[in-house]
Amino acid sequence: MQVAEEGADITAQVLAKMRALPDKRLTRITVQGAPYFVKMAEHHDSLRLRLFKGDPQVAFDREVELLQTFAQRGASVARIIAQDSSRVALQDHGTPVQALIYDHQADPVLMRRLGAALADLHALGLAHGRPSLRDICWDGENVTFLDLEAGAKLNAQPQDQARDLYLMLHSVFTTDGPESVFAAPALDSYRAYGSAQVWTATQALARRLWWIDLVSRPVVWIHRLRHKMRSEFAAIKAARQLILRG
């Protein structure tokens, strides 16, 4: 009973602090020494943005619903601590994998955990939609997926999950460069724990993307002339090659 009361007290304090915040897309708060992140619905100031991105309240409501449903399925996603109609407070789940790579704190062991975590998510019949390394956190023990995008699926097909796997590998190469040693351990782990059907669909996707690789080459050359080695364009070829090598 005492534990339940303490949990309710924390939720009430987080909710009060969350509601007192000025409008801002993402804000970090601290309650009783613990960090949380408050996320709010976007505000589109122009008709162009509204037409391009859609109704921000609808997008916000959908993401909250997806987080709740993914969690009910057993997925490792951001935990909701408190919410109201336009704001949600999320538990802090550690450091984004992207930041760990930038700070030279990532290693192949972490990347294998990342690949296994994506396979676990897919085994639940789910797809994240855009598993970028900036939206995947590591707290030293657990991998947690954040920011469920418009492409997130509750009843995912192999092609949806293949897109997840390709985009995660692409994000590794974008973050660490086309020579990254971190993508292969993530892929090997995914293949060890994931579905063979998804892997077949991923290779088929990589073959279909030959034209994007071709179109991106002039941009890659320009980046190299400017000594820019990390590039989402160079990552296209690197991800394709890794997948097609199988």
Amino acid at 171: S
Q: Indicate whether this model's pTM tops 0.85.
A: yes
Which of 221, 219, 216 minimizes the C-alpha distance to 237?
Answer: 216
128/116 Cα distance (integer angstroms) = 14
Task: Give backbone dihedrals phi and psi of 39, rounded to 5 degrees, phi first.
Answer: -115, 135
113/116 Cα distance (integer angstroms) = 5
Domain map of the chain by residue range? 2-91, 95-245
95-245: same fold as 2-91? no
62/32 Cα distance (integer angstroms) = 30
Architecture of domain 2-91: 2-Layer Sandwich (3.30)
Q: How confident is the model at residue 49 (pLDDT cuts 50, 70, 90)?
A: low
Output the average pLDDT for the chain.
91
Each residue of 168-204: pLDDT tens digit? 999 999 999 999 999 999 999 999 999 999 999 999 9
Residue 2 has pLDDT above 60, yes or no: no
| Range 95-245 classified under CATH 1.10.510.10 | yes
Residue 124 has pLDDT above 50, yes or no: yes
